[in-house]
Each structure stands twice: as C-alpha cells, then as structure tokens.
Amino acid sequence: MTVLSEHHSGKKRNASPCHTSINGVGVGFRSNHFEYIEKNQPDIPWFEVLIDNYMMDAGSSLYYLEKAAEAYPVTFHGVGMSLGSTDQLNKDYLEKLKNLIKQFNPVYVSDHLCWTSVNGYHSHDLLPMPYTDEAIKLLVAHIKQAQDFLERRILIENVSSYLNFKDSIMSEWEFLKIVVEESDCDVLLDINNIYVSAVNHNVDAIQYIKNIPAERVKEMHLAGYTDMGTHLLDTHGEAVHVPVWKLYEQALNKFGNIPTLIEWDNDVPEFSVLEEEAAKAEVIMKKVRACAA
Amino acid sequence: MLHELQTSFLKGIYDASVENNAYPYLQETTERTAEQQLSIYRGSIFGGLKKALAETYPVTKELVGDDFFNMMLGQYIKTYPCSVQDLNDYGEELPDFIRELKQARSIPYLADIAQLEWFCNSVLNTEIQRNNLVELEFLNTKQKTQLRLNLPNGSTLFQSNYPVDEIWGMHQNDIEKELELTEELVNLIVWQSEFGIRIDKLTLEQFYFLEKLNQGLTFVDVCADVINRYPKSDINFLFVNALQYGWLQSYEI
C-alpha cells in the first residue's frame, strides 16, 4: 500500500477576521512558504493570495490560507477573470471567487487589464489589449459586471507587454485612465510592468506614472524581470532591479505611501529573501515619507 | 474587430507558419518583427502550460528526460490547446497521446505511468466525502436488499500490463533497481484517504468486486455477479477487506 502525500482534508470553515486596510510592504503567499509562515508567523504586515490556486474545494492550500487569514490581512489577486476577452465573463469562476471573498474577507480583490482566453481556449497568460474605443467599451462593461456581481470595487493591474497592435489609437496610460474612470474601479500599479513595457516599447516610464490618477491607486507591485537581450521579460523570478527601485521611488513621490507587494513566483527563494526585498521597499517608503514631512 | 483579433492571436500562438493570421494585427518595429513579438508570447504560454504538465506528470518526465519531455509536450500543446480554466485540469489526453507517439514506443509502459499520474492528479483535486458506513448496522432487511456501496470520491480502478505501481513507487523514493517486465496484469485502485493519496494493488476478485460496486449495482446484485464469475469467492472476506482498507466510503439506498 502506498501513501503518496499527506494533506489536510477540506472541511466547512468559519469566516476569517475582517481586516479593512493594509499598510506597508506585503509579500506573496506562496505554497513554498506555507509551513514556514504557519510555524514562524513572520513580521509581515499583509499577504497577497493568488486566488486562482484556491478555487478547488479540496487540498491543503485552503487550510494554510485559513490559518494565514486568521493572523494577517490578505488581498486576493487573480488572473482568471479575463476582463478584456470578447467571451462572456465566466460566472462559475466569479461565483467561486465570491464565496472565497465571503470566507476570507480580503482587503482588496484585483485582476488585470488584459485578456487570457477566447472562444473557450485559455492561454493562462496575460495578453495585451489593443488601445481602442472598442476595447475600452468592452473592459468597462466587464469590470462593471464583475463589480456588481462581487458587490465590491476591484483593482485593475497594468500588464507587461511585448508587442503593439496596429489598431491602437492611444497610449497605455491613457487607455488605463479611461477604463478605470468609466468603470469606477481602482488601480493596482505594477511598477515592474511599467518599466518592462517602457523599455520594450521605447516609451517614458515617468510619463506613464505622471498620467495615472493618484486617487485610484490603492496598491503597487514590485517584481524582478529577466533581461533576454532583445527585450525584458516579466518573469517574477529575480530580485527587484535597480531601475525599478528608482521608478518605485518616483511613484511613491506621486501617489504617497501606497501598500506595496513583493512578487516572486518563479524559482521562489527562501522566505528571508522576500523579507529582505520588503525591507528595501520599506526603506524607500520611509525616505519618501521623511522628504514629504 | 476585437473578437477577430483575439481569435487570430490565440490561434497564431499555436500556429508557427509564415502565413500566421495574427501577424496583420501586429505593429512591426525596428527592434522586433511581428513573428518575434508573437513568439515571445508563444514561449511564455507554452512555458506555463509545460510547467503545469510537468507538475502533473513528474514520473513520466523523469522516465524520458527533460529534452524528450519538452519536445513531447510541445507537440501535445499544439494538438490539445488548453480549454480549461483550472490548470490542474489540463493534460487529461496526454496518456493517450503518448500511446500514439512513435518516439515513445521504446518505453512501453510510459502511457500507463502517465495514466496513473493523471488519476493521482484527479483524485488529489477531489474533496473527501464523509464516511457514513457506521450507519449500515441500523438498516432493516428491506433496506439491505436495496443497498448500494460507493467507493471513495474521485477514486479510480485501473489495470495495466506493467508493474506501474512499483515503477511509480521507485521514482518517488529514488530507488534504482532492475524491474522484470513480465506483462502480468496489475490491478490497482487509486484513491484518497484522510492521510493522502493511495495506490493499492488488488487481486482480480477484489478488482471485479469494486468495479461492480462502482457501476452502481446493488450490493445483492454485485454479490451474485461476483459468485457467478468467481464461484470460489468469499464475499464476506471481500466486503470486510474492502471496508478495512477504506475502499468503501459511503452507502445509499
């Protein structure tokens, strides 16, 4: 008889405590660190949960999420809404998301300014939108639908891109600004993605940040890209690079001390490495705060 | 317009031909041609799907090595683009794909190993149901004649001509030894207890007994069927044995 792997069974759970805000620098809640976090309760102000990994009814992940949500504020970050797709929104996905929101009370729920699937086929990747009026209309309708269904405002994150569509008639920041204002959602500003796209398309990253409406930005992301020689690739597999730290400081100057997340999804290191990255971001936050005072 | 763009784009990801339908939508630059732009996304999408499949099929990967596994998955993804929202559900057709793959024929048990891994993946993503068998003793005689017994939720009965359970177990424990491939039928149940996934070897009689229960026949009909097929069977032993191992999970009338 072979026992392959031990895990905790799925069972009915109580709702987690209701945290209403996050502050400072959080890190991603990843399976590599589940046991470490449960055992050591590290001094991290909040965790961001990749919520698509918790849509199953069973498995140990839900157990660890329950434990984390009891001790820390959490935010939900998704990749599955496919808000920019010409397919209809996936009701089953939204239903599962809504149930998890009720159960774990995340401070924010976010997804991306992109599409991931069409005609029932899924890329499981964040695909860019053409910056057109038709795309704005579709995104606004889908974001409103999602917000109505979830009964809460969501945050939309800018993605890295490696191409331009011929049909685009405006810049990405103009597109993002119109979408968030017309759909009345908030922004999760990924500083690494801004930098990656700016380098790949020869545009000004500072200009991008200057044009984002400050009152909409509720969270920021920092991550590491990989330099492929011909382009930068958003891999989330390295430490945050120097130019991104510099851009982050500029962003804090404009938006104030917005809660920030250290994202690391590939070749995930020891938890202490994430803590070091978070500490670096905290130092920049303090510096900007001191300058502003 | 947007729908055509998205349809052409995703189709273009799986189609590396020169007349790719996605190219007309892309703005070429001095740095990157349309083909280069699309290939960045192709690499990223294929990479993500391959990573997910490698997590579902780790023993299959180990048996053929990284290079062959990557080549095989590249062909598989083009043949079966992902149509599921949850990546845990992607890759169901890989065992049959391997069965048809000429280059994989030097490892005759590879498709069965992949099948076993798929069953493990499926059962792991199934919620464990409450065991209500303690209530069996309170059933009256009439109820007992209508009794149907269920195997654990998500469990699978599986037969192979190769000792796939042993091969699988050796790879879990990094054991290297010569295995004699006798092509003797191996009967297995892949299921999930509260302590984790289990692969248990069954006798032919046990397999037949559980298979009939799994078809939804009443317990009375299953017993008659087993006795008919295996006249020397000890039904009481088969039943108690299945209970003790945990291969029975619940009942219904």
Residues of B with CB below 8 A from A59's CB?
A: 124-125
Q: What is the mean pLDDT of residues B51-58?
A: 97
Residue B88's contacts (CB-CB under 8 Å, 6 or more residues apart) are A56, B52, B56, B121, B125
pLDDT tens for each residue of A48-74: 999 999 987 666 788 899 999 999 999
Residues B121 and B157 in one domain: no
Mean pLDDT of A209-216: 97
Instruction: Please check whether residues B110 and B226 belong to one and the same domain.
Output: no
Q: Which of A65, A102, A60 is nearest to B125 (CA)?
A: A60
Contact A165 B5 (CB under 8 A): yes
Task: Kindly state whether residues B104 and B134 are assigned to the same domain.
Answer: no
Which string of DSSP letters, residue by residue, matches B10-55? Answer: HHHHH--STT-TTGGGB---SS--HHHHHHHHHHHHHHHHHHHHHH
* Tokens (6 digits) for B96: 């049959």
List the one residue out of A134, A130, A192, A184 whose CA is nearest residue A158: A192
pLDDT reported for residue A4: 37
Q: What is the pTM of this model?
A: 0.90
Which chain B residues are closer than 8 Å to A165 by Cβ?
Answer: 5, 25-27
- Which residue among A56, A85, A123 places its CB closest to the CB of B88? A56
Distance between CA atoms of residues B78 and A222, nearest Å: 33
pLDDT given for residue B138 in this prediction = 85
User: Do residues A156 and A180 make contact, with C-beta atoms less than 8 angstroms apart?
Assistant: yes
Regarding whether B135 and B115 lie in a shared domain, the answer is: no
Cα-Cα-Cα-Cα dihedral of B229, B230, B236, B240, to 10°?
-90
Q: Is B112 found in the same domain as B22?
A: yes
Buried b (16+ CB within 10 A) or exposed e, A192-228: bbbbbbbbbbeeebeebbeebeeebbbbbbbbbbbee
Beta strands B186-193 and B156-160 are antiparallel
The predicted pLDDT at position A57 comes to 66
- Find the mean pLDDT for residues A122-139: 98
Rounded distance, CA A113 to CA A94, Å? 17
Distance from the A4 Cα atom to the nearest Cα atom in chain B, whole angstroms: 5
Domain boundary assignment for chain A:
25-292
Tokens describing residue A33: 């660190």
CB A131 within 8 Å of CB A174: yes
Residue A3: pLDDT band with limits 50, 70, 90:
very low
Q: Which of A11-25, A92-106, B142-156 has the lowest mean pLDDT?
A: A11-25
Q: Do B85 and A93 touch (CB under 8 A)?
A: yes
Check the CA dihedral A107-A113-A117-A123 and report its sign.
negative
Assess contact for B200 and B186: CB atoms under 8 A. Answer: no
Confidence of residue A7 (pLDDT cuts 50, 70, 90): very low
Q: How confident is the model over A13-46, as pLDDT tens digits?
A: 567 778 889 999 999 999 999 999 999 999 999 9
Count of structural domains within chain B: 2
Query: What is the pLDDT averaged over residues A151-168?
Result: 97
Which pLDDT score, from 0 to 100, does residue A13 have?
A: 54
Q: Say if the Cβ atoms of A3 and B9 lie within 8 Å.
A: no
pLDDT of the residue at B33: 93
Outline where chain A has alpha helix (H).
34-40, 60-71, 91-104, 133-150, 172-183, 191-201, 205-210, 242-255, 271-292
Confidence check: pLDDT of B232 > 90 = yes
Q: For residue A164, count other CB atoms closer than 10 A to its CB.
A: 20
Q: Distance between alpha carbon A84 and the CA centroid of its chain, in Å?
A: 16
Are B160 and B231 within one domain?
A: yes
* Paired residues of B157 in beta bridges: B189
Mean pLDDT of B57-75: 97
Q: Is the domain of B94 the same as that of B156? A: no
Query: pLDDT category, B183, cuts 50, 70, 90?
Result: confident
Q: CB of B173 within 8 Å of any CB in chain A? A: no
- Give the residue from chain B lying closest to A130, CA to CA: B2
Does B49 contact A at CB distance below 8 Å? yes
User: What is the predicted pLDDT for the residue at A61?
Assistant: 87
What distance in Å separates the CA atoms of residue B121 and residue B91, rounded to the nearest whole number?
A: 10
Q: Within 13 Å, how many C-alpha atoms sit on residue B141's CB side?
A: 0
B166 has pLDDT over 60: yes
Q: Which amino acid is at B2?
A: L
Chain A from 214 to 273: CB within 8 A of any B CB:
230-231, 233
Superfamily, domain A25-292 = Divalent-metal-dependent TIM barrel enzymes (3.20.20.150)
Gap between the Cα atoms of B145 and A147, Å rounded = 53
Residues B103-130: tens digit of each pLDDT: 999 999 999 999 999 999 999 888 777 7
pLDDT tier for residue B195 given thresholds of 50, 70 and 90 = confident
Rg (Cα) of chain A, in Å, rounded? 19
In this prediction the ipTM stands at 0.91
Residue of A nearest to B130 (CA): A11
Mean pLDDT for chain B overall:
92
Can you say how many angstroms the Cα of residue A270 is from the centroid of all Cα atoms in its chain? Answer: 21
Averaged over A139-147, what is the pLDDT?
Answer: 98
CATH assignment of the domain containing B197? 3.90.930
Same domain, B103 and B194: no
pLDDT computed for residue A14 by the predictor: 64
Does pLDDT of A12 surpass 50?
no
Is A162's CB within 8 Å of B40's CB?
yes
Whether the predicted pLDDT of B213 surpasses 90? yes
> Could you tell me the pLDDT band of residue A279, with boundaries at 50, 70 and 90?
very high
Q: Do residue B90 and residue B184 come from a single domain?
A: no
Same domain, B143 and B164: yes
- Chain-chain contact of B36 with A80 (C-beta, under 8 angstroms): no
Q: Average pLDDT of A146-158?
A: 98
Residue A148: burial class (beta carbons within 10 Å; 0-12, 13-18, 19+): exposed
Domain that holds residue B200: 127-253
- Give the residue carrying structure tokens 């685009």: A168
Residue A11 has pLDDT above 70, yes or no: no
Encoded tokens for B135 = 């209530």
Pairing outcome for strands A217-222 and A186-190: parallel
Could you tell me if B94 and B137 lie in one domain? no
pLDDT in tens, A221-276: 999 999 999 999 999 999 999 999 999 999 999 999 999 999 999 999 999 999 99
Chain B closest CA to A140's CA: distance in Å?
14
Q: How confident is the model at residue B18 (pLDDT cuts 50, 70, 90)?
A: low
Question: Nearest CB to B196: which of A6, A119, A122?
Answer: A6
B125 CA to centre of own chain: 11
